[in-house]
Structure 1
Amino acid sequence: MKSLRMIVSVLLIPCLGLHASASESDKELRIVFIAYQNPEQLADDVEPVVAYLEKELGVSIKHYVATNYGAVVEALKNGTADMGFMGPLQYVMAHSFAGARPILGEVYKGKPTYTSRIFVRKDSGIKKLADLKGKSIAFVDPISSSGYLYPMELFKAEGLVKKDATDFFKRMYFAGGDEQAIRAVYNNFVDAAAIGQFAYSLLRPEERDEVIYVGESKPLPSHCVVVRKDLSESRTSALQNALLKIQDGPDKGLLKNLYGVDGYVKVTHETFSEVEAIARDYDFIK
């Protein structure tokens, strides 16, 4: 896993200069959102959510969209964000590096968990994971849970990948997002894509019949809302309550702006214990 550790280190380096004071301001909150597809669209989508939180919390909010997965981890590590929306692997890294705490987990399609799936074109002739030997695959990001970590665990469990994945795949790519990965399959740029199960919906309805999945990981915790280690309990509780209030009140429509989730449930670090153990196996954390 040495080469993977080097990749992760490189991904985190660009943000190392963004140091800022982690001291809490009563009148300001800093939020980082992670982009899973179109960063510009997400930046527009979250504006009503930010306005809602400013009203509920009575603070000014500064926010930005991280365009790579490493940036959201570094934002909490370096004190440039008080709160972030991120995936399970990014959370356990932020916890390991900076003591970050999870406060809510997403509920999507009625569940607080999801899976990773291996998608191929229906006309590819690929029927099972073993058929991908010598083929190309698009992952999402080296520190993506459903777009790298859990797919690799799936291939290992099937006995297809031993030590080095390049012994099985002809080529491996990191597409940078779920939509880019699923479209790489649809457009015949790669033979397969390892992505979250719901990335299928990023294709247009008329395109979806052209792809199928030939493998699925075990469930993993949904993406989560995370706060920095020393954010006060009063501010943390206020954030929890404000976000939980959305799903049961007149502002429920805002959920479509928050990655289209159904709502949230409270989570703890133990919710991510399996992700943490796998991340340690892959040298993401010590």
Structure 2
Amino acid sequence: MSRAIVTGFILLLNFILAGIAYNQEAPQKNVITMGRVTEKVFKLQKDIEPIITYLASRLRDVGIERGEVVPVSNNKTIIRYLREGKIDIVLETPFSAQTYRAGANVTPILLVWRKGEGEYNSFIFARKDSGINRLEDLKGRIIAFEDEGSTSAYFLPKFSMEAKGLNLTKISYADPCVPKDVVGYVFAGSELNISSWVFFKKAGAGVLSCSDWFDQRDNPRAYRKEFKIIYKTQKLPRMLVMVRAGLDERFVARVKEELLNMDKSKEGKEALNEFDIKKFVALPKGALRRIEHLYGEKARILD
């Protein structure tokens, strides 16, 4: 065999091996994943599995065979999963969205209309007989937030209060001693607990989203008639759809297309109803700038 033939054969073999290696490194994507941080794994599965299953069924043309839900217990883990490509899509509220943008370079692509609204704000409230009429009156008192992951019932009101010059500190409910120039805060764990703690005077004030304020399950009418709203925060997008870095642009375009059209079919509406979503819409102009203005530095600190 001549040297030219041998050389040609070696070059061809290297080309084939390189092709095999490339295919091993970048296989055809056939599963699309959606995740959220939660402690309620079974509820999350029930809520968003119909959405990702529906979406996967509409993406056969780009090689998707099925969709999977990936529950995650904390922000650090979901950021790692996004970086590693284990989660493709995240549905999340503004503060967490900004944290993921800072930590995993995710891209917000759509706004979620949930519980009948695309934007929401927080109501800070107290009992009518509490003597609390404005934010400054909360000094030396306790305010009840929901939990450390809530945008509307923790991050948004807390940052709004700090922007007004108030000093907030987390306290133990077992030892509720609050200095007179400080606002002490506790986590009630649920919307109903927040309204109950204020009603029964376990906390001087509480926070609910504007939609939860009017929800009989979270703020019973018997409670609400004894409350007064002392402050309303600015409005922010209620929830965002984000995709991880590294996804093909054409693939992301198809995801957007199907989500935007999801509320226009019977099957799509039924899937959305499980998570109380009305529709997906394009991001309003300036929505991300509002989030960045309020949360940007805080999100980087928490990353």
Structure 1 length as normaliser, TM-score? 0.75
Aligned-pair CA distance for 1:82:
0.9
Number of the residue aligned with 2:19: none
Number of the residue aligned with 2:172: none
Number of aligned pairs? 260
Distance in 1 (CA, whole Å) between partners of 2:155 and 2:54 is 34
Listed as ranges, the gaps of 5+ residues in structure 2 are 1-24, 170-178
Partner of residue 209 from structure 2, selected from 172, 186, 196: 196
Distance in 2 (CA, whole Å) between partners of 1:89 and 1:71 is 16
Number of the residue aligned with 1:19: none
Corresponding position: 1:165 with 2:168? yes
Corresponding position: 1:249 with 2:262? no
Distance in 2 (CA, whole Å) between partners of 1:80 and 1:186 is 44
Aligned-pair CA distance for 1:102:
0.7
Corresponding position: 1:117 with 2:123? yes
Corresponding position: 1:274 with 2:290? yes
| Contact 1:73–1:90 (8 Å) recurs in 2 | no
| Contact 2:168–2:183 (8 Å) recurs in 1 | no
Shift in CA distance, 185/73, structure 1 to aligned 2, threshold 3 Å:
farther
Root-mean-square deviation (CA, aligned residues, Å) is 3.3
1:11-56 Cα distance to aligned partner (Å, 9 max, x none): xxxxxxxxxxx96752111210344x95533322323223322322
| Contact 2:93–2:238 (8 Å) recurs in 1 | yes
Corresponding position: 1:128 with 2:134? yes
Describe the SS at the equivalent of 1:137: strand
Aligned-pair CA distance for 1:69:
5.2
| Contact 1:255–1:262 (8 Å) recurs in 2 | yes
1:79-99 Cα distance to aligned partner (Å, 9 max, x none): 331111111111122112221
Number of the residue aligned with 1:64: 70
| Contact 2:107–2:245 (8 Å) recurs in 1 | yes
- Greater Cα shift, 122-131 or 242-251: 122-131
| Contact 1:30–1:61 (8 Å) recurs in 2 | yes
| Contact 1:70–1:143 (8 Å) recurs in 2 | no
Q: List structure 1 runs of 4+ shifted beyond 6 angstroms.
A: none
| Contact 1:116–1:146 (8 Å) recurs in 2 | yes
Shift in CA distance, 24/186, structure 1 to aligned 2, threshold 3 Å:
farther
Partner of residue 231 from structure 2, selected from 215, 221, 224: 215
Structure 2 length as normaliser, TM-score? 0.71
Corresponding position: 1:75 with 2:81? yes
